[in-house]
Amino acid sequence: MRSSLRAFLVLALLALTLPAAAGAASFAPSRGVFNSGIGGYGPGAVDAFARQAGKHPAVFQSFVDWRAGSADVHWLDGLLANSDRARARAMLSVSTRTTGLTPARIARGDGDHFLLALNQLLTAHRHPTYVRLLSEMNNGNNPYSAYDLGGRSRGPAYSTRQFRRAWRRAVLVVRGGRVDRIDAKLSRLGMPRVRTADTQLGRPQVAFMWVPLSYGNPEIPRNHPRHWWPGSRYVDWVGTTWYSPYLAVRAIDRFYRYRLWRRKPFAFGEYGVWGPESTRFIRLFFRFVRNHRRVKLISYYQSALLKREFRLSSHPRSRYVLRRALQSGRYLGYAPEYR
């Protein structure tokens, strides 16, 4: 009896020390909130953000384009290496802004070269990485959105149905595994097989973040986030973006509590002061985070190229309030592997 109990305890301890299966983990902190930031691409970008915010970012975010050929993603090696050297996890916000890829084309496999290369790159990286895929999909400013800013449809290739198909394909390919199993899942979803001769893809430590606007732009019923929801099994995190000109706390709260995703860890993929100083927004934002326990990551937006209207250095009073808020031990400056 004692030997059986000892064997059980050993197995239980082993289970606790083994990493979660790829594709099944969010890599969210068990306690606290990951501090994160955006701003710059160079080797010193992470440390520059830490100096401005007063706390090191556990996760540093970069914006990247969905490119057609595998050779085009090699430059991402540099971003991942920069984050690793600075002891921060990487988040990649992936867009089709410059490619012309429609959701329908992605769903039928036209973007597979990029997805396969990303799978290979993140597998070799060997650290948890977050992919914020086609963010703010219900924002008419984005070329992959189903509706323009006037509320007019961009056509069937951009429909919310095609977006959901494109999202599911991207998640299945990047999460990796046996290609025949991926192909079988794609077939059940009505999509063609992966465009590869490989039989096995890597299994990277990757988590997918689904980050729409909380109420849509344009704000019309068919642009509500629920129409873009690809399904719980294809999403690891849910989040939104929030800026100082928009103090609609109720809209953010309703989105946070929506029944389809209310059990997912929550992220603010972007938050920040946009334009004039707003200490009020910073205080409001951190009050919201304190009162909503599923919030596990907050990413301050200074823009990819540090535009003046977003830079922390342009908002000294708001930065002061931000730095004081981040001093709380609840906001984590390092992921476990970098402490």
Question: Considering only CA atoms, which of 258, 267, 331 is closest in space to residue 91?
Answer: 267
Rounded Cα distance, 226 and 258, in Å? 9
Rounded Cα distance, 195 and 73, in Å? 17
What is this structure's pTM?
Answer: 0.91
CATH of the domain at 135: 3.20.20.80
- The mean predicted confidence, pLDDT, of the chain is 92
* 1 occurs within a structural domain: no
Question: Considering only CA atoms, which of 20, 23, 21, 19 is closest in space to residue 185?
Answer: 23
* 129 occurs within a structural domain: yes
* 10 occurs within a structural domain: no
Alpha-carbon dihedral sign for residues 206, 210, 61, 32: negative
Rounded Cα distance, 179 and 200, in Å? 5
Rounded Cα distance, 307 and 314, in Å? 10
Rounded Cα distance, 172 and 7, in Å? 36
Question: Considering only CA atoms, which of 137, 99, 149 is closest in space to residue 227?
Answer: 137
Per-residue model confidence (pLDDT) at position 248: 87
Q: Specify the pairing of strand 200-201 against strand 177-178.
A: antiparallel
Report the domain count for the chain.
1
* 271 occurs within a structural domain: yes
Least confident of 20-34, 101-115, 136-150: 20-34
Residue percentage of the chain with pLDDT more than 90: 86
Residue percentage of the chain with pLDDT more than 70: 91
* 18 occurs within a structural domain: no
Q: Answer left, alpha or beta for residue 303, where phi above 0 means left and psi between -120 and 50 means alpha.
A: left
State yes or no: pLDDT of 21 exceeds 70. no
Which residue(s) pair with 271 in the sheet? 242, 300
Rounded Cα distance, 126 and 274, in Å? 35
Residue 324's domain comprises: 29-338
* 2 occurs within a structural domain: no
**Which tokens sit at 39?**
């701003």
Tens digit of each residue's pLDDT (9 = 90 or more) over 249-287: 999 999 999 999 999 999 999 999 999 999 999 999 999
Rounded Cα distance, 324 and 317, in Å? 11
Tens digit of each residue's pLDDT (9 = 90 or more) over 38-58: 999 999 999 999 999 999 999
**Over residues 296-306, mean pLDDT:** 96
HEC secondary structure over the chain: CHHHHHHHHHHHHHHHHCCCCCCCCCCCCCCCEEEEEECCCCCCHHHHHHHHHCCCCCEEEEEEECCCCHHHHCCHHHHHHHHHHCCCEEEEEEECCCCCCCHHHHHCCCCHHHHHHHHHHHHHHCCCEEEEECCCCCECCCCCCCECCCCCECCHHHCHHHHHHHHHHHHHHHHCEEHHHHHHHHHHCCCCCCCCCCCEECCCCEEEEECCCCCCECCCHHHCHHHHCCCHHHCCEEEEEEECCCCCHHHHHHHHCCCCCCCCCEEEEEEECCCCCCHHHHHHHHHHHHHCCCEEEEEEECCCCCCCCCCHHHCHHHHHHHHHHHCCCCEECCCHHHC
**Over residues 174-180, mean pLDDT:** 98
* 210 occurs within a structural domain: yes
* 21 occurs within a structural domain: no
pLDDT-based confidence at residue 99 (cuts at 50, 70, 90): confident
